[in-house]
Amino acid sequence: MNKTEIRKQYKILHSETRDILFRCDPAHINLGGNKDEYDPEASTILPRLKNANSASDVHDIIYEEFQNWFGEDIAGDKDNTSYTQAAKEIWAAWQKFNNKMET
C-alpha cells in the first residue's frame, strides 16, 4: 500500500499519528515547525496496528519502524519515555478510530 492509499484509508488517524510522533519526538528530529517530519513513519506504522492488541504492541511497532527508518543509533533506547508516551497515545487513537469504523 502506498502513502496516498494509506492516507486515504486512515484519513484523520494518519494526521493524529504523525502529530503524536512529532510531539513525542522519539528520534529527536523535531526541529520546530515541520509537522510533516514524521509523515513517512506514520505511513508505515498505521498498517501494522491491525496486529496490535495493546499499547505495548504499538510500542514494539513504533520502535521497529524507527529502527528501520533511522537505524539503531538514532532510534535509541527502546525504553525511552518518548516511545512509551507515543505508543499510549497512538493506541488510544487507534481504539477511537476502530470504534468509529464499527458504528
pLDDT tens digit sequence for 27-84: 888 777 777 789 899 999 999 999 999 999 999 999 999 999 999 999 999 999 999 9
Phi-psi region at 43: left, alpha or beta (left = phi > 0; alpha = psi -120 to 50): alpha
Angle in degrees, CA 92, 33, 8, rounded to 5: 50
Whole-number pLDDT of residue 66: 96
User: How is domain 3-102 classified at the CATH fold level?
Assistant: Endonuclease III; domain 1 (1.10.340)
Cα–Cα nearest to 43, from 95, 2, 88? 2
